[in-house]
């Protein structure tokens, strides 16, 4: 048993942190937020040059391999930096989906582009009738010769404006779900901004009788179901890692601040109430770290991971927001200013806590897995 990172992961973590500190300071996060661009192209290119887009992608497609635990390390560093770029939807979600697919054509076509950063992909799942999960998908896919016609509205599609593909889930009446890579350049696609508190440039995406060639289908029926179930674990753990990065920063920044800030003639970190807030943050951060690590490890080992992924998502979603709020509380008014970074963590953790199933959603999954 080793509850630390292994040597390669430590290296990866350090290099990711120093890269992002340099290339993705919080000033950039604010700049992107205030601009119309979907994400900073230069940063994206530099990330690709670091080889990150190949993490978790098989070597035969130009990737560098690596496990879910390695991806977790990177996601954590990105959470720490509030990365304003579509790594998660492109590499983690779409990369995993394409690799899992039996559609060799898509793999050969898209993965080499993806690993070099030339392909940005977004994930179009949620619909006006639902808030998460695979039920109530009304976006319809109907066969049209060997093609498919897809119509429906998708919400909360992150970084849709910069995407070249939409990894899309639709429903084939009577058959079940279908997972398609829809080329963003196809006729009949309309985007509308849905600004959210985490600055992640989410969009409403309307597919109006969009023609999708058969070769763009990643999975259908049972395959689609099992792909999406696996993605659910992957997404949950990745979001936990992202939150981990954010709250580790919250803790570090807070501890530093309360050591320094003086009130009533002593560092505020000397007050027992502040100390206990910080201790609670630390216990939450540690607990979140090990739970996330356990789930990522199970995924890495190819073991059934749903219980652990859902335990992590249910716990970290709550813990991360709790820690973020405590971070604000020990900072006081200064953390309520835009110029301070504390709220960036709060925003990121809050949105991540709701993404891909909130606490109750995942508690219900845990309940099922423990035999209830």
- Give residues in contact with a second copy (CB under 8 A): 271-273, 276
CB–CB of 39/201 below 8 Å? yes
Tokens for 284, please give them.
Answer: 């939450």
- CA-based R_g, the chain, Å: 21
Q: Does 240 bind another protein (CB under 8 A)?
A: no
Q: Which of 47, 315, 323, 345 binds another protein (CB under 8 A)?
A: 315
Nearest distance from C-beta of residue 284 to a second copy, angstroms: 18
Least separation in angstroms between residue 274's CB and a second copy is 9
- Quote the least distance from Cβ 123 to another protein, whole Å: 13
Among 218, 247, 293, 349, binds another protein (CB under 8 A): 293
Query: For 153, which DSSP code?
Result: E
Nearer to a second copy by C-beta: 79 or 269?
A: 269
Residue with smaller CB distance to another protein, 92 or 285: 285
Per DSSP, the three-state class of 45 is helix
Q: For residue 153, what are the CA distances in angstroms to 65, 93, 176, 358? A: 35, 20, 18, 22
Q: Does residue 339 touch another protein according to CB under 8 A?
A: yes
Q: Scanning residues 61 to 90, which ones bind another protein (CB under 8 A)?
A: 69
Query: 198, 233, 242, 341: which one contacts another protein (CB under 8 A)?
Result: 198
Tell the smallest beta-carbon distance from residue 236 to another protein (Å): 13
Which of residues 12, 47, 83, 311 is near another protein by CB under 8 A? Answer: 311
Q: Which does 136 bind (CB under 5 to 8 A by kind): another protein, a second copy, none?
A: another protein
Show the tokens assigned to 304.
């059934």
Residue 250: C-alpha distances to residues 40, 156, 221, 243, 335 (Å):
24, 26, 43, 10, 11
CB of 185 to another protein, least distance (A): 25
Question: Do 148 and 155 meet the contact criterion of CB atoms below 8 Å apart?
Answer: no
Structure tokens of 122? Answer: 């977004």
Q: Least distance in Å: CB of 118 to another protein?
A: 29
Q: Considering beta carbons, is residue 273 or 367 the nearer one to a second copy?
A: 273
Q: Which residue spans within 198-289 are E strands per DSSP?
A: 202-212, 217-220, 262-263, 266-267
Site string for another protein, 117-146 (x = CB under 8 A): ---------x-xxxxxx-xx----------
Q: Return d(Cα 120, Cα 117) in angstroms, integer.
A: 7
**278: contact with another protein by CB under 8 A:** yes
Cα gap 28→39, rounded to integer Å:
10
Query: Of residues 55, 314, 320, 345, which one binds another protein by CB under 8 A?
Result: 314
Question: Are 166 and 212 contacting, i.e. CB atoms less than 8 angstroms apart?
Answer: no
């Amino acid at each position: 048993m080793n509850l630390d990172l292994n040597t390669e992961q430590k290296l990866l973590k350090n290099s990711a942190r120093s890269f992002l500190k340099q290339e993705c300071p919080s000033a950039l996060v604010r700049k992107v937020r205030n601009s119309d661009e979907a994400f900073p192209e230069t940063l994206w290119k530099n990330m690709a040059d670091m080889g990150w887009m190949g993490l978790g992608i098989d070597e035969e497609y130009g990737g560098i391999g690596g496990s879910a635990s390695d991806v977790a390390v990177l996601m954590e560093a990105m959470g720490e930096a509030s990365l304003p770029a579509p790594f998660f939807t492109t590499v983690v979600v779409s990369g995993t989906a394409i690799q899992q697919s039996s559609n060799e054509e898509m793999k050969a076509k898209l993965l080499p582009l993806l690993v070099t950063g030339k392909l940005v992909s977004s994930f179009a799942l949620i619909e006006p009738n639902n808030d998460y999960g695979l039920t109530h998908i009304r976006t319809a896919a109907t066969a049209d010769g060997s093609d498919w016609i897809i119509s429906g509205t998708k919400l909360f599609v992150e970084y849709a404006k910069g995407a070249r593909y939409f990894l899309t889930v639709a429903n084939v009446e009577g058959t079940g779900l279908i997972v398609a890579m829809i080329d963003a350049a196809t006729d009949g696609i309309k985007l509308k901004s849905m600004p959210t508190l985490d600055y992640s440039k989410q969009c409403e995406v309307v597919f109006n009788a969009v023609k999708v060639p058969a070769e763009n289908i990643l999975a259908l029926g049972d395959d689609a179901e099992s792909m999406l179930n696996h993605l659910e674990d992957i997404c949950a753990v990745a979001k936990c890692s992202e939150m981990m990065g954010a709250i580790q920063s919250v803790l570090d920044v807070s501890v530093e601040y309360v050591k320094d800030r003086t009130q009533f003639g002593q560092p505020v970190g000397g007050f027992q109430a502040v100390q206990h807030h910080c201790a609670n943050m630390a216990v939450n951060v540690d607990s979140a770290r090990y739970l996330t690590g356990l789930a990522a490890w199970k995924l890495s080992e190819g073991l059934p991971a749903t219980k652990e992924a859902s335990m992590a998502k249910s716990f970290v979603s709550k813990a991360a927001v709790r820690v973020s709020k405590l971070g604000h509380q020990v900072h006081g008014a200064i953390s309520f200013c835009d110029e301070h970074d504390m709220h960036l963590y709060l925003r990121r953790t809050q949105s991540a806590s709701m993404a891909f199933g909130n606490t109750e959603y995942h508690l219900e999954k845990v309940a099922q897995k423990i035999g209830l």
